[in-house]
Amino acid sequence: MNLLLRSATIIDSTSPYHLKQIDILIKNGIIDLIDKKISSDSKVREMDCKGLLVSPGWFDMYACFCDPGYEYKEDINSGSLAAAAGGFTGVAVLPDTIPALHSKSEIEYVLNKAKGNLIDVYPIGAITRKCEGQELAEIYDMHHAGAIAFSDAGNPVSDSGVMMRALQYAKLFNGVIFSHPDDVNVSHGGTMNEGVTSTNLGLKGIPSLAEELMVVRDIYLAEYTQSRVHFSMISTARSVELIRAAKKKGVNVTCGVSSIHLMFSDNELNEFDSNFKLNPPLRTKDDIAALKAGLKDGTIDVIISAHTPQNAELKEVEFDYADFGAINLQTSFALANSSVGKNIGAEGLVEKFSVNPRKILGIKIPSVNIGHEANLTVFSMEDEFIFAQEKNYSKSNNTSLFGKKFSGSVKAVINNNQFSEVKK
């Protein structure tokens, strides 16, 4: 693939061309030249990038591709297409499949199936067998097979002893264990944030406390085991506070937030919209303000999509019976940019979307520099984005964002010697 990006503004603090508006010539997937006014060649495809930004390709650290087992919701191919359209060149996929990604063979299946894709798909192995929180899965073997991290997806590891041993065991290879902080005895059957809205709607609430108790526990476990905990997504003001204090103390914890939780509060549920039934639940405006502050001061490391496809049969039902989750790969950047773009700026967004996820997972961070592989995302923070249903690449439609307008749009992704332009 040969490509010339004209007049792009580079956002990459590791590159000597950082913040420069310049031409980038890519030959056979490698950045061949970065210079002002590179002369055109009829054999090279050109893309006008005036007013657009180019950064190292983005990485989503928490998406569900549902493959194997739930291919009717999503598969590695459709998930990859949605990810590319959302600006991602890399995705870490969750293990709550059937069978779960809990042994070497499932890890290899994902890696093999994703081979040759534009986007790099990194399987996250299960911490415990079937993500059930009981018995440790073969973590070390999965690590050797290519599992990038370990998580029980939307299930917390409720047994503190199991979590402790997982953290100790992962020290064999400096692995990172994801925590989904939820004390199920406190959240007990809840369907939305416990608060004024849930009281009005008569819906069973999930107290912030359910998350915070587990954040505290896993901070203590990280400290005790001297191992690495990554909270895959936090949603409450108190969680931000707890993690801020833990980081200050030097405990090895990192955390993410989903872009949906940055944009929407539990007020969205007033009409019982099951597409906003999420785990963790949407919280209050105060929580959103705290999450934004946490992103700004570095307490929160990454922004994730938490892309969770569900078929209509599991969503277009009474709220109590609906499953949790929403698709978000194609909307994640627009939501994040609309909510915190002005607050953390282009460099902040690139850090949360591209640099930090790879740092946490130990993946080489692409650089926008001559001689490096072209692993790039071309985007705009100003352009308007409307998520059209006919442009939805996911197999599932569980989102309430179709037709809604946001600021910030993805123009193209480049990776593995492939180029994909996002059509308006």
Partner 1 sequence: MSSLSVKHLLGIKYLNADDIELIFKTADSFKEVINRPIKRVPTLRDTTIVNLFFENSTRTRISFELAEKRLSADIVNFSASSSSVSKGETLIDTVNNILAMKVDMVVMRHPAPGAGVFLSKHIEASIVNAGDGTHEHPTQALLDAFSIREKLGGLKGKKICIVGDIRHSRVALSNIFCLKKMGAEVMLVGPPTLMPTYIESLGVKVEYNLKRALEWCDVANVLRIQLERQDIKYFPSLREYALYFGINKPLLDSLKKEIVIMHPGPINRGVEITSEVADSNHSIILDQVENGLAIRMAVLYLLSGRKEN
Residues 304-333 that bind partner 1 (CB under 8 A): 313, 316-321
Give yes or no for residue 403 binding partner 1 (CB under 8 A): no
Q: Smallest distance, Å, CB 321 to partner 1?
A: 6
Q: Smallest distance, Å, CB 198 to partner 1?
A: 7
Q: Smallest distance, Å, CB 202 to partner 1?
A: 4
Residue 320 CB partners (closer than 8 Å, separation 6+): 191, 203, 204
Give yes or no for residue 272 binding partner 1 (CB under 8 A): yes
- Using an 8 Å Cβ cutoff, are 148 and 123 in contact? yes
Burial of 10-25, coded b for 16+ CB within 10 Å and e otherwise, reads bbbeebebeeebbbbb
Q: Smallest distance, Å, CB 318 to partner 1?
A: 4
Residues 71-130 that bind partner 1 (CB under 8 A): none
Q: Which is nearer to partner 1, 271 or 382 (CB)?
A: 271
- Using an 8 Å Cβ cutoff, are 417 and 348 in contact? no
Q: Smallest distance, Å, CB 203 to partner 1?
A: 5
Q: Which is nearer to partner 1, 161 or 202 (CB)?
A: 202
Q: Smallest distance, Å, CB 320 to partner 1?
A: 4
Distance, in Å, from the CA atom of 55 to the CA atom of 24, rounded to the nearest integer, reads 12
Which tokens in the block code for residue 128?
Answer: 């415990």
Site for partner 1 (CB under 8 A): which residue of 41, 141, 271, 384?
A: 271
Site for partner 1 (CB under 8 A): which residue of 57, 175, 207, 408?
A: 207
Q: Smallest distance, Å, CB 188 to partner 1?
A: 7
Residue 319 CB partners (closer than 8 Å, separation 6+): 191, 203, 269, 272, 274, 277
Residues 161-200 that bind partner 1 (CB under 8 A): 188-189, 194-196, 198-200
CA nearest to 101, candidates 48, 156, 74, 139: 139
Give yes or no for residue 286 binding partner 1 (CB under 8 A): no
Per-residue contact string for residues 122-161; x = within reach of partner 1 by CB under 8 A: ----------------------------------------
Residue 20 CB partners (closer than 8 Å, separation 6+): 9, 10
- Using an 8 Å Cβ cutoff, are 328 and 256 in contact? no
Q: Is 256 exposed, middle or buried (0-12, 13-18, 19+ CB in 10 A)?
A: buried
User: How many chain residues touch partner 1 (CB under 8 A)?
Assistant: 23
Which tokens in the block code for residue 97?
Answer: 């499949």
Q: Give the interface with partner 1 as residue ranges (CB under 8 A).
A: 188-189, 194-196, 198-205, 207, 271-272, 313, 316-321
